[in-house]
Amino acid sequence: MTMNFYKYQGTGNDFIIIDNRSLLFDKTNGKNIAKLCDRRFGIGADGLILLENHPDVDFRMVYYNADGNESSMCGNGGRCITAFAKFLGVIDSTTTFEAIDGMHKAQVNESKVSLQMKDVSNIETFETHSFLDTGSPHHVQLVNNLKDFDVKTNGEKLRYGSPYKEAGSNINFVNQISDSKFAVRTYERGVEDETLSCGTGVTAVAIAMHKTGKTNSKKITLETEGGELKIAFEVSENGNYHNIWLIGPATQVFKGETSW
């Protein structure tokens, strides 16, 4: 069988996106999904996303990591599928859709897509790092000399180490640039390597930096290897983070046809 696909990227975090409203794509074949994501033997991507019909909202987002396994929420993927839905004519400029972590609102303004993330209430802070779930689990750690830091080796150790063990965590290494600007490099589980950007990761970094007093700003700029993202949020009196928005570009790179 042949199927049309589209390639999108959001600050270098790239995805194969397929219109699966007809439900023809075989979601049970994880090996094939991994092959499609392979950068040498397939199309190449950090993950694969399916756009499907939903009975109550505009669409459903189904996300698979590059290893072929269905994964937790992907923020940049959510922004890219929103741009794709607009391209298909499924939405106009605003949308509500369902992902694995629940409902999300999003809006498109030319090439910029803003995605509302889930509320965050539980943030664990330690002497060396913070841990929180922004739709996916994230370890956040300040380091020196981020530019030359070995993200893959150090990220791999933490991803499989205690206390994360089998379930694992995404690992974010951070350097503060100014009061409201941070550089971030992320090791992503499921990709098992550094990615150029991670949407749930920069969301976690912004919240962790605010929670630990590294910034007082509620509008934070994150410099990733693939470009710039912004996070805006509000904080309630009890310390819960809500109305969290992930903002940045989402671009269609190319389209094609693949056999599987």
Cα angle 20, 36, 34; round to 5? 100
Answer whether residue 257 is part of any domain: no
Do 160 and 94 lie in one domain? The reply is no
CA distance 85 to 71: 20
Count how many Cα atoms sit within 13 Å of the Cα of residue 109 in the half-sphere of its side chain. 5
Q: What is the CA radius of gyration of the chain?
A: 17
Q: Is 80 a catalytic residue?
A: no
Q: Of 67, 90, 116, which closes a domain?
A: 116
Q: Is 74 a catalytic residue?
A: yes
Answer whether residue 259 is part of any domain: no
Write out the chain's pLDDT in tens, 260 residues. Answer: 799 999 999 999 999 999 999 999 999 999 999 999 999 999 999 999 999 999 999 999 999 999 999 999 999 999 999 999 999 999 999 999 999 999 999 999 988 999 999 999 999 999 999 999 999 999 999 999 999 999 999 999 999 887 887 789 999 999 999 999 999 999 999 999 999 999 999 999 999 999 999 999 999 999 999 999 999 999 999 999 999 999 999 999 999 999 87
Answer whether residue 258 is part of any domain: no
Do 10 and 51 lie in one domain? The reply is yes
Residue of 36, 62, 74, 81 with catalytic role? 74
Answer whether residue 260 is part of any domain: no
Do 132 and 243 lie in one domain? The reply is yes
Do 144 and 110 lie in one domain? The reply is no
Do 89 and 164 lie in one domain? The reply is no
Do 138 and 242 lie in one domain? The reply is yes
Do 111 and 128 lie in one domain? The reply is no
Q: Provide the 3-class DSSP secondary structure of residue 105.
A: strand
E strand spans, the chain: 2-10, 13-19, 47-52, 59-65, 94-99, 102-109, 112-116, 123-125, 130-133, 137-142, 170-178, 181-188, 193-195, 219-224, 227-235, 241-249, 251-259
CATH code assigned at 102: 3.10.310.10
Query: Structurally, how many domains does the chain consist of?
Result: 2
Residue of 51, 198, 205, 208 with catalytic role? 198
Answer whether residue 156 is part of any domain: yes
Q: Which residues pair with 245 in a beta bridge?
A: 116, 232
Answer whether residue 255 is part of any domain: no
Q: Which domain holds residue 228?
A: 123-249
Do 152 and 95 lie in one domain? The reply is no
Do 158 and 74 lie in one domain? The reply is no
Q: Provide the 3-class DSSP secondary structure of residue 67.
A: coil
Do 135 and 19 lie in one domain? The reply is no
Closest CA to 168 of 196, 143, 197, 133: 133
Q: Of 116, 137, 164, which closes a domain?
A: 116
Answer whether residue 143 is part of any domain: yes
Do 189 and 93 lie in one domain? The reply is no
Do 23 and 98 lie in one domain? The reply is yes
Task: Tell me the per-residue pLDDT of 61-115, one tens digit each, with 9 for 90 and over.
Answer: 999 999 999 999 999 999 999 999 999 999 999 999 999 999 999 999 988 999 9
Taking CA atoms, 29 is separated from 20, 36, 45, 52, 56, in Å, by 15, 11, 17, 17, 28
Q: Of 86, 116, 146, which closes a domain?
A: 116
